[in-house]
Each structure stands twice: as C-alpha cells, then as structure tokens.
Structure 1
Amino acid sequence: MADAVGKKSVLYAKQESHKRIRRLLSVPFSMDSLSTFVKKIDKMPIERLNKLEESGKSFSVLDFGMKMNFDAMCNMLMSVTDDSLLRQIEKDCIDVDRSVLAFPVLIPGTTYYRGMKARKRLMESFREMIARRRSGMETSEDFLHSILQRDSCAPNEELDDSEIIDNLITLLIAGKTTTASAIMWCVKFLDENREVQYRLREEQHAIARNKPEGTSLTLEDLKSMSYGLKETQKPYSFIPFGSGPRTCLGMNMAKVIMLVFLHRLITAYNWTVDDLDPSLEKKSHIPRLRSGCPITLKALNKAKQAWMT
C-alpha cells in the first residue's frame, strides 16, 4: 500500500507521525470549513441530472456518483475544474488504486507497473500545482490553500510537499468509490421503500419551499435534513472500527455530497430502476451492484402533467 499511496499517507504513517498529519489534515474537513464547498457541489447534480433527464437515457447511478464525487473532490481539494485535466487525474488515480493489492513487480504491462507510472504522473502534476500556489501565480480558497497557509508555522505545524502530495492521492483514491457506492444504495433502497421515499421527499420539498427559487443549498439547509441525515444513525448500532484515530477524514465531505445529491434528485425527479438484478460485483472490496443500478429519470413537473392528462 505504501508504494501506491505513499509512505507519508495518513493511511500508512505510524504513531506520532500519523497523529500530526491527521491533526493538520482534519481542520479543512470540519463541517464549518465545508460551508463554502456546499455551493460548489450543489451546481453539479443540478446540471448533470437535468442533461440526463432531457436525453431520456438510462444511466448507471454508480458511474454517475463516481464521476460527480471525483469532480467534487478535485474542486474542493485543489479547485481543479478543467474536464480534460480531471479525466487525466481520474485515470491515473484508478491505475494507482488498482495497484494497491497488485503483486509488486515492476514489469511493463502489469497492474503494479501501470500504478507506479500513474503515481509518478500525479506527483509531478501536484508538485507543479503546489509550486504555482507558493509563487503566487495561482490562488484559490480550497483544501490546498488551507494547508499551504501553515508554511509560516513551526515545523511540526506544517506539512512538506511529499506529505501534501501523498495525502492528496490518498484522499482522491479513498473517497472516489465509497461515496458513490453509498449514493447507489440510497437510490436502490429508496426505490424499494416508497414510504421512506415519500417522507424524505416531503422533508426536502419543505426545505426547498423556504428558499428563493434558483438559490444554492447552504450548510444550514443540510443540517436541517434530519430525516435524510439521521434515519440510518440508529442508537447503539454497531460500527466496527467506526471511531478513534482511524475515523474517516473525509466523512463530513461525503455526507455533504450525498445530501446535496439526494436533495436535488428527490425534489426534481421520479426515477425507474431499469435493472433489478441484485447480484454484486465479485472483485470489489466495497459491496456494489454489478449493474451499477441503472435508472431513467422523469422530471416531477412532467410526471404531474402526464398524470393530469
């Protein structure tokens, strides 16, 4: 794993080094720090779901979630929005991810070899990005900016370039599939449980009615989503390894992405699941439907018009 994510990754660092890196990385991921991120992520599902509904085509919720989640993370971490750069970073991250459990032999054509080459490209790209930020050529209010602000602090209160790069790679790889899989299961279970879907829709419509049309969601809106946020958090539920120093750093960011997506989906669309096959992917380390949960959208206003006629 260290070869893929880096020896200074929060996933690999040991004892005191892990405590220091985790502490410095955690501040930009607090719910308060994510308040500016909410407006950025809110635009993504609105535009993308609208295009898919207008096309009338079926699409995989898992694939949609992975692409949206990855683009959202790149925006939040480094303010990367250029599509060609996003797709190159995504391709390299996929190769690095696949190399984590691959046999470590540097032979051209092997999974491990491709992963190491991809990691080298990511390191070069991120190193150039950090250099431009430090020289003042670029500036953005994001995770990287928050981390680089510590350059004037004491040595134990700042991260060097290798620590920043290793953990950027770690965050992009760790968060890409997990959040998308959770979104996929949400859509599947909401489709199968219409009473829950109705209660969630009522809550989300109430939030939407209290906002001027066309305005973005805010962190306060997300905090008021009591049914969507807390329904799965039953008291005394057992979550193995769900707390302590190894708690997921990006947990709050994942919640923001899922809540924003669910709000925009359920307040604007009905959907039909096009493949009910419950079989799972065999080689995935996270439970995922083999079909990816393909759905077809219909805008609520169109569905209402069809019903009235």
Structure 2
Amino acid sequence: MFQLLLDVGPYCVCFYAVLVLAALVFLASQLWKMLQQLNQECRADIPPGCLGLPFIGETIQFMAAINSGKGFYDFVRVRSLRYGNCFKTNIFGQTQVFLSSTESAKIILNNDLGRFTKRYIKSIAELVGNQSLLCASQQHHKLLRGRLVNLFSTNSISLLVKQFDELIVHTLNGWGDGGTVIVLDEALQITFKAMCKMLLSLERGLELELLQEDVGHVCKAMLAFPLRLPWTRFYKGLQARKRIMSTLEKIISRRRRGLDAATDDFLQRLLVEEDNYCSDGLHRLTDAEIQDNILTMIIAGQDTTASAITWMVKYLGENEDVLDAIKAEQLHLLEKTSKKLFLTLDDLNEMPYASKVVKESLRMASVVPWFPRLVLQDCEIEGYKMKKGWTVNIDVRSIHLDPMVYSEPNNFNPSRFDDESKPYSFLAFGMGARTCLGMNMAKAMMLVFLHRLLTTYKWKVLDSDSSIDKWALFSRLSSGCPVHVTRL
C-alpha cells in the first residue's frame, strides 16, 4: 500500500486527500443542516411526524404502500392514526403535511388570502403537463379556467347526456344474459369513448385505439418513481405523453387548415373562441395549453368517472335495501320516458334518490383521496406553523369517513344526504376556485349509467374484495368488480 502511494506521487496523494476532506466537510455540513432542521421541527408549533432519511425522506415507505394491496393511501392512513389530524412527512424530497379536518379544508381550499396554489408530485406534473389546470399557478389557473368554463355549459352537458346514453344502450345490449362482466373495464371503455367524442369527435379507428392505449400508460405512470430509464413505468408514461401530444397537435393542425369534416365538439369551439380572442387583441391560449388540458380532461373524465361508477355498482350490489329503493325510482322514470329513444338532462332532474346514491358512492369511495396545495408564504393552520415551500394536503378520505362528520360513515346510506351536509364535509369535487370543472358532467354520466343498468339488468357482485389498484392515482378496485348479470 505504501509503495502504491509512492508510485502515484505526492501531488496525487494531496489531490485525493483534498477530495476526501471536501467530501467529509460536505457530509458534515449536510448532517448539521439536517440536525438543525430536525431540532427546529420538533418544536411544539410544527406538525408532528417523521421526515425519514436524508434526501429521500419516507419515499421508500410511500412506494411500498403503492405496491401493497391496500394502495398508496394506506401510507397516509397509518400516519394519521399515529399522529392525528395533522402530520408531516417527506416524499420525493418534499415536505408534505396532511390535514383532515373540515376547518383546514375551508382555510386551504377557499384560499382567501392567496397563500396556497395547487401542486402535484413531480411525476404527475410532468405527465399531464405544466400548462394543465392541475398544475397551473393561481393566476394561470384563473386564466385557463375562464377560457374553459364556458365549454361546460348546460347545452354541452345536454348533448353529452344524449351521446353517453347512446353509448350505454349500445354497450349494455352487448352484455347478453347470464354472463360475467368486469364493470371497471366496461366503464373505462364507455367513458373514454364519451370523452373523445365530446372533446375531439373521435369515435372509432386506429387513432382512437392508439390514444386510449397511450392514455392508459400515462395513468399507470402517475405514481411511479420519476426515473427516466427506458424500462421504467415513468419513462413509458413520458413516451406515451409525447405520442398523445403529437396526435393532438396533428388534429389541431388539420382543424386550422380546414381539412377535417365540420365538427361541433369541445376542441372546435375552443379554437373558434381563441380566434375571436386573438382578433380582439386579447391573450389567447397556446397550443400547448390546449393540448395539456385536453389530455387532463380525457384522464379526469375517463378514469375518475369510471372508477366512481365501479364503486357505485359494488355498493348497490352489496346493499339490497338501497338497491330496491333506487330501482323503484328508476322503473317509475322508465314508464315516463319509454317513448323517448334517449334520456335528457331534464330526466336526470327527476332522479332525487339516484342523485343521493351518486353522492354517497363518491363519499365512500373518495376516488380523489387528497388535494395538494403548495404553501406560498409562512402561515398557521390549526395551531401549527406551515412553511413556505411545503405542500399541504387535504385528506379527503379521512374527512369523508370521520364519525364526527358523518354518522356511521362506513355504512352505505344515501339518505344521509336528505339533510344539508356540514360545510366542507363533502369534497369529492373539491371546493373554492379550483372546484372540478367537470363536476356536473361526471354526475350526469353516473346517473345515465345507473338508470340504464337498473332498468336493463339485475346483477350480483362476485368479488367483495375492496383492494385498490396499486398503480392508480385515483382509488379504483383492483378486481374491477366482476358481476354476474341477468337481463330483466
């Protein structure tokens, strides 16, 4: 060893010694910072919890929860039981605070003082795009929402009801009698076709099939570790996003050049509206903003709605009294609408009990289990200091299943909504300025599906397992809810 040091020379030895010393100094400084941070965060006015290992925090535990049959929310549930309604952790190098009270939800989602803005973990933001409503800053979100909200008008929803009903009738006719159906698979197909028809007038063909496959890759990559290696789920999701953006870019180009047949869909109305803004000298949406938000609406309209429909079918199949009550309502409505080919928006207003079934399904399933917000300035919530740069998360599932908020919260009881809910206790679509734009559309799709299913089939749930699909951002059944259907 001594001879080796002589061979490399004194200058090399000094160089290596300096490198080692520099590395030790760096590690010591990082350790000192970490100790200072831990000391500071043990104060009584800082949320309880554990920040885990240096740099990676509790990311390993978070990923382990994803790989378990209980789903990623189990990571939050376990810590909520340990620390209470407010706790901190560290995921992917970012301090995360979870809060599960209606008071916290009001402060954060109302955001009256502009202290918070929406923020998702890095993998989600890169997959849906930084021009998406999901990731936009407060001012950018206000601009985007102002452009998009008019496209979710009553007329648009009325048209969707007819189109969606037509799809449902066609799909249910193909189920036959006495067979087994995987509800989630069927719901994903129907909702994807409905969204693509409404947004882009895509109804069939290779372009639609490839788009559906790529959207599936993006959804599966949402919770993946953000490694850009060719064999990783995240990398495959990014590649799928590139192909989706290319497809949307081509469609927009064809529309602008007048090469597509005349259409009256979401994209066309948006392009016409933006041309009007341009002629008036106002800021117009860029193609990147349009593309990112078309992708966002496809994912939200397909994945969350299909998941909610699946949970609803499961809950009804397991609660006979509720099923009997809603079936009576829907068969009565069928008598009134039997001369119509398809349902109308007015018909949906004749479904008061079904609307409560939808709401109760959304409460119990909590398809979107939490809402993340970036802290823009130091503030205090529930007696705890929240620091600028942290992410605070409203724990929706915990609020929805809180026995102090809902009596017997684990029982499926639509009649609980006979009375008005406590403010900020029902958060399926969020609250405040960032309430889901497609809220009324999603409810309409669930009601149409419910009516056609109840008046066409009776069914039996074949798998009562409530395990969550481990790679799904939105809570959905890993079994897909297989049911045995019998035509009425």
Match of 1:127 among 249, 255, 269: 249
Deviates more, 1:163-172 or 1:127-136: 127-136
- Go from structure 1 to structure 2 and tell me whether the alpha carbon gap of 1:290 and 1:257 turns closer, same or farther (over 3 Å shift): same
Q: 1:30 touches 1:252 (CA, 8 Å); kept in 2?
A: no
Deviates more, 1:217-226 or 1:282-291: 282-291
- Which of 416, 420, 430 lines up with 1:242 in the alignment? 430
1:258 and 1:99 map into 2 onto residues whose CA distance is: 26
Determine the structure 2 residue equivalent to 1:116: 238
**Sequence identity, in percent?**
42
1:290 corresponds in structure 2 to 478
1:59 aligns with 2:181: yes
1:181-215 CA deviation, whole Å, 9 max, x = no partner? Answer: 21111111111222221221222122221224351
Letter in structure 1 aligned against 2:333: I
Report how many aligned residue pairs link the two structures. 299
Shift of 1:298: 1.2
**Which residue is equivalent to 2:392?**
none
Q: Which residue of 2 aligns with 1:19?
A: 142
Q: CA deviation at 1:258?
A: 0.7
Give the Cα–Cα distance (whole angstroms) in 2 for the partners of residues 288 and 13 of structure 1: 26
Task: Map Cα deviations across residues 27-60 of structure 1 (whole Å, 9 max, x no partner).
Answer: 1123332111111111111111121124x43121
Candidates 315, 331, 336, aligned match of 1:189 = 315
1:2 aligns with 2:125: yes
Instruction: Tell me how far 1:179 sits from its aligned partner.
Output: 1.0
Tell me, yes or no, if structure 1 residue 159 matches structure 2 residue 344. no
Stretches of structure 2 that go unaligned for 5 or more consecutive residues are: 1-123, 361-416
Structure 2 residue 326 is matched with structure 1 residue 200: yes
Kindly report which structure 2 residues correspond to 1:1-309, keeping only aligned pairs within 5 A, or say none. Answer: 1-54=124-177, 56-138=178-260, 139-150=262-273, 151-153=275-277, 154=280, 156=282, 158-213=284-339, 215-231=341-357, 232=359, 234=417, 235-237=420-422, 238-240=425-427, 242-300=430-488
Which runs of 4 or more aligned residues in structure 1 lie more than 6 Å from their structure 2 counterparts after TM superposition? none
Amino acid in structure 1 at the alignment position of 2:188: M
Q: Where does the alignment leave 5 or more consecutive residues of structure 1 unmatched?
A: 301-309
Question: Given the two structures, how large is their TM-score scaled by the length of structure 1?
Answer: 0.89
Higher mean alpha-carbon deviation, 115-124 vs 284-293, is at 284-293
Q: Is the 8 A contact 1:27 1:33 kept in 2?
A: no
Question: CA, structure 1 residues 33+239, in 2 after alignment: closer, same or farther (shift >3 Å)?
Answer: same
Name the SS for the 2:269 alignment partner. Answer: helix
SS of structure 2 residue aligned to 1:272: strand
Task: Name whichever of 139-148 and 287-296 sits farther off.
Answer: 287-296
Relative to 1, partners in 2 of residues 1:299 and 1:169: Cα closer, same or farther, differing over 3 Å? same
Report the Cα offset of residue 276 of structure 1.
2.6
Quote the residue 1:307 is aligned against: none
CA contact (8 A) 1:179 1:254 kept: yes
Are residues 214 and 132 of structure 1, via their aligned partners in 2, closer, same or farther at CA, if it must alter by over 3 Å?
Answer: same
Distance change in 2, residues 1:20/1:223 (3 Å)? same
Per-residue deviation, 1:76: 0.9
1:158-201 Cα shifts (integer Å, max 9, x gaps):
32211110101111122322111211111111112222212212
1:200/1:228 contact within 8 Å kept: yes
- 3-state SS in 1 of match to 2:154: coil
Residues 77-115 of structure 1: CA distance to partner in whole angstroms, max 9, x if unpaired? 111101432221111112222333333333222222212
Q: CA deviation at 1:260?
A: 0.8
Flag the structure with higher strand content: 2
Larger deviation, residues 28-37 vs 179-188:
28-37
Looking at structure 2, the residues matched to 159 and 32 of structure 1 have their Cα atoms a distance apart, in angstroms, of 23
Given that 1:24 and 1:157 are in contact with CA atoms closer than 8 Å, whether structure 2 keeps it comes out as no
Greater relative CO (CA pairs within 8 A, separation 6+): 1
Judge conservation of contact 2:457–2:487 (CA < 8 Å) in 1. yes
RMSD value, Cα: 2.0
- Greater CA deviation, 17-26 or 240-249? 240-249
Matched position secondary structure for 1:270: strand
